[in-house]
Amino acid sequence: MKARQDIEQICDRPLLNPIYDNNGKMRVLRGDYTLKKDDLRKVCAWMKKLKFPDGYASNIGSLVKIKDNTFHSFKSHDCHVFMQRLLPLAIRGFVSKETYEAVTELCMFFRVLCSKTLHVDDLVNMKSTIVVTICKLEKIFPPGFFNSMEHLVIHLADEALLGGPVQYRWMYQYERKLGLIKRRIRNKSRVEGSIAREHLVNEIATYCSLYFDSTIETRHNREPRNFAPHHPSTSSRESQLSVFVVSSRRLHQKSGKRRHMSFEELKKAHTYVLLNCVEVYPYIDEFDGVAPEVYPDESIAFLRENHFAEWFEKRVMIGLIDGSTRHLEILARKPSIFAKSHNGYFVNGYKFHTQKYGKGLVTSNCGVCVRGETYNAEESDYYGLLDEGVYIMDQFGYIIYIRKEVPMMLVATYDASCCFSTASTLLFSIFHLLIRFLTSFIILRV
């Protein structure tokens, strides 16, 4: 309450000034930076239904209490995900424009600062923009929000310029190690000896596991998350092409329904594989130079989609005379008209499944992104949902994602290494303060 009295005397903040009733009692009004009760209920209901891709974050919805309109017990990684990705979306439309912009700028600052790759130009620009952001926050939140921790945010860009990417300076691995050591304590009256004994037993067990048979799972041969083995090609020509060396496997090895593919589906699948094969890139450039002469009124994207597969087949057959295109012959041929439909697939360490399959799961892996072909002003990446299934062409192993024709906004792939010692401490402090001020009423009584 004394802080509000100081604001009345020092600052020009009428909304934060205390109000006196007829009995002389003092009370304060809700700040414009807080959420109303109905708005907070909407945010909690949205977070309760929120789903993330596998391995992106924990089940945040289980930490939300709809009855109390609260959420707590976030892990460190969840705090980073919420502040860097979700907080700007959660408060949009519920607070004033000035509050939203200031909080979003702070979230974007930590998002860029904690990314895996840092650019010097971005850090130099952040040095000046973070000062303006802190000033904006000072004009919105009361002075009690700010202490030395909020001031240290200004120096984080300089620290990144001197120390480099943050994942080499974070403290999480040491904190996890200390937590593991504490859990090994059996005799609390002899802490040091108990830790040393348990560590020695663990080292001996790890050393002995090196002599186990390879079929026995240990920490040395354990398969990683969403593991997909590499399948060697059956022919030497296939092994020379990058499109046939992708590590992948089915969600269920014995599942799959045989399906007849239409002519239009085959054409789209064949064209997409050709346009995304590295060995075909020189022929794409050659086609871009020849096709406009035959079809002058059509765009490059239209010509690639409708005529490239047919032109490429003829071009490869001509090259077979001197043997220059022998390694591309298998790509020039059309795939089989039969395919197998699966509910899910693992590709390059990522998991994909259909919408229907993931309806009862706490994770969502049905979102896909298809890269654009020409990247001009009229084209961009396509975001969609796996609606029908994942089809595998029998002949060449092509993978086709049948997508639902509905635009979709996807959260970019989260880098698990997105925090470090000083910045993570500051982020947690600011995170809890922001949540406290954005989701609670300030009611002080004399």
For the chain, 446 residues long, give each residue's pLDDT as a single digit of tens: 777 777 777 777 777 777 887 777 877 777 778 888 899 999 999 999 999 988 888 888 899 998 888 888 888 888 889 989 999 999 998 988 999 999 999 999 999 999 989 999 999 999 999 999 999 998 888 877 788 888 889 999 999 999 988 888 888 888 888 888 888 888 888 898 999 988 898 899 889 988 888 888 888 888 888 887 766 555 555 456 777 777 778 887 776 788 788 888 888 888 888 888 888 889 988 998 888 888 888 888 888 888 898 899 888 888 877 777 888 888 887 777 888 788 888 888 888 888 888 888 888 888 887 766 655 556 667 778 887 665 554 444 444 444 333 332 222 222 333 333 344 444 444 444 554 444 443 333 32
User: Is 410 within the bounds of a domain?
Assistant: no
Same-domain status, 261 and 335: yes
Same-domain status, 261 and 278: yes
- The pLDDT of residue 378 is 61
Residues 44 and 64 sit within 8 Å (Cβ to Cβ): yes
User: Is 218 within the bounds of a domain?
Assistant: no
405 contacts: CB under 8 Å, gap ≥ 6: 384
Instruction: Report the distance separating Cα 446 and Cα 423, nearest Å.
Output: 37
Instruction: Report the distance separating Cα 368 and Cα 400, nearest Å.
Output: 11
* Backbone φ and ψ of 343, nearest 5°: -75, -20
User: Is 227 within the bounds of a domain?
Assistant: no
- The pLDDT of residue 407 is 31
User: Is 30 within the bounds of a domain?
Assistant: yes
The Cα-based distances of 405 to 361, 367, 368, 388, 417 in angstroms read 23, 12, 12, 11, 34
Number of domains in the chain: 3
Q: Which domain holds residue 69?
A: 2-168+420-438
Same-domain status, 146 and 254: no
- The pLDDT of residue 409 is 26
Same-domain status, 159 and 248: no
Residues 186 and 196 sit within 8 Å (Cβ to Cβ): no
- Closest among 329, 234, 231 to 279, alpha carbons compared: 329
Same-domain status, 89 and 181: no
Same-domain status, 202 and 275: no
User: Is 444 within the bounds of a domain?
Assistant: no
Same-domain status, 431 and 361: no
- The pLDDT of residue 100 is 93
Same-domain status, 315 and 184: no
- The pLDDT of residue 442 is 32
Same-domain status, 28 and 161: yes
User: Is 347 within the bounds of a domain?
Assistant: yes
Residues 184 and 195 sit within 8 Å (Cβ to Cβ): yes
pTM of the predicted structure, to 2 decimals: 0.72
Same-domain status, 149 and 180: no
Same-domain status, 57 and 13: yes
- The pLDDT of residue 108 is 93
User: Is 221 within the bounds of a domain?
Assistant: no
Q: Give the CA count within 13 Å in the CB-facing half-sphere of 89.
A: 13
Give residue for tokens 């090609």: 233
User: Is 94 within the bounds of a domain?
Assistant: yes
Same-domain status, 39 and 63: yes
